[in-house]
Structure formats: structure tokens, C-alpha cells
Amino acid sequence: MQHFLQIADFSADELRQFLHKAKELKDELKAGGNQPILRGKVLGMIFQKPSLRTRVSFEVGMLHLGGHAIFISPNEISLGKRESVADVAQVLSGYVDGIMARVFSHEHLMELAQYSQVPVINGLSDYNHPCQALSDIFTIWERFNQVRGLKLAYVGDGNNVVTSLAVICAKLGMHITVATPKAYQLSAEVVTQVRNLAEESEINFAITDSPTDAVAEADVIYTDVWTSMGQESETEQRLKVFPPYQINRKLVSLAKPEAIVMHCLPAHRGEEITNEVADSSQSVIFQQAENRLHAQKAILALLLS
């Protein structure tokens, strides 16, 4: 049994296996439909945070592969409150073939995996977002037909999305520069982890507070919301700090002419990204969103079949 909790758990070869499976399943779907390789399988989906892409892509993914998905709302399950995480994991293991959890606390996710008798998939936690990172790299690979040697510039908050993104870039040989305000950088633990991986992969990993320096010669510019779910009390302060980190036409012009712009969505248009950029020919934000379906189907296929 294998879980999908964080990118760091997988080798570069294993990550490439997920990418090739995603392409295979996407091509198969476009050619007429996927084979029902998960017929009779059920995915239990625990949601503490609301979602459009995560819920729909996992439900549709299970449907395409012949299985079923069950949505479990915060009203039905309160991890660690109404019932212990260990009890929830063991009860659900008797009903379903896999568990996808979108949670606030990464510790709850790790505890689910510890006590579960079926694979657990991280649909998002406060620490990381591995499904998003796999989908992002799949989107980049589709566009450029390669990953190694490209440069990604992440501009914005040092949050859970860039945590997974930086790790997968380093593992697969993609240069990455992260530009954040000094008070909102990646954690020291993540920086050390990525630096070690970057040395092994012989790629450049840089941390800066300058968006213009970050996007220079970039093939990919990536951003996310300045205030994530659970940080609403910080909104006013963040709106004062982050405006210089907006992805706008002027900043994009400093990257390579063929550079693409990415955002994991939902976007706060007019804040971290302008409409002009989000709707431009360089934007691939909706291809990214679609590829959540295909990348997650690869995860489901390799973990549950």
C-alpha cells in the first residue's frame, strides 16, 4: 500500500511514472473514454475546506475510471473533535478503497495515513499541495515537451502550493526562483530540503524578495492568492505588503517571450494577477485546472488499481 501525502516521498522516476500515466489516461479519454480499471472501487473524500477543482476532479476521475466517490462534509465528520482521527481512519478503511482528505492540519493527514488500511491522498493541507504540483508539472511538460532545464519563477506568498512545487521542480531538474516578501518566505525546513534536492539534481534554486529578479529568463511564472483559507484575519495586512508581487503585463514582459503564466486558482483578479495577464495567450490557468483531473486520475490508477 502506498499513500500520496507529499512530493518528497517519491523518487524522480516515480514522479515521471505518474506523469506518463496522466498522459496515457488523458489521451485515452480524448480517444473515446477510459477503461474502467477501478470498477467497484470507492473513494471516500473528507473535506474540511471548500473546493471546486479538488472535489469535482476527483469525483469525475473516479467516474471515468469506473469507480465511485463519496463526499464527506465537515458537518458529517470533525477530525479530532467529534471523533478521533485514528477512529475515523479505521472506520473508513472498512468501507472504502481509498481516502482523499482536504484538511487544515497536515498532522491530521499524517494521522489518517498512519491508521488507515487503505491509501490516503493529500487533497491539500496547510503544509503542502502535492496533487496541484503534479498537475502543474504535467501542464509544463505538455507545453514545452520537457521539464529539465526550464526555469520557473514563483512570485507571491511562501505557502503550501509553492512548498510542493519547489520540491517537484528540484526532483525533476527544473530551476526555480521563489520571490516573496521577507516576512512571508518558505519555512527554513523547506528551503533546506529543496536546496539539498537542487544539489542532487544540479539545478539552481534561489530565494529573493525581488519579483523582477525572479522572472528574468523564466519559462514559467507562477502565482497564488496572497491570503489562503484560514488566514482571513491577515487579509488587511497582506494587502498592504503584496502589491509589488502582482503578476501584471510589465512583470511578465521581463520573462522569456514564450513564457507561460500559471495560477492554481481560485484567483483574486486584480490582486495577485491582472485580468490582462490571466486572460492572455500566455496564460495556461485553465489548462492547469483541467489537468488536475488527469494527474489525479494517474494517482488513483497507480494507488487503487
Active-site residues, by number, are: 102, 129, 132, 224, 264, 292
Contact yes or no for 89/115 (Cβ under 8 A): yes
Helix (H, G, I), strand (E, B) or coil at 261: strand
Burial 179-212 (b: 16+ CB within 10 A, else e): bbbeebbbeeebbebbeebbeebebebebbbebe
| Contacts of range 264-271, beta carbons closer than 8 Å, 24 or more positions apart | 264/129, 264/132, 264/136, 264/161, 264/224, 264/288, 265/52, 265/53, 265/289, 266/52, 266/225, 267/225, 268/225, 268/226, 271/225, 271/226, 271/239, 271/242, 271/246
Helix (H, G, I), strand (E, B) or coil at 74: coil
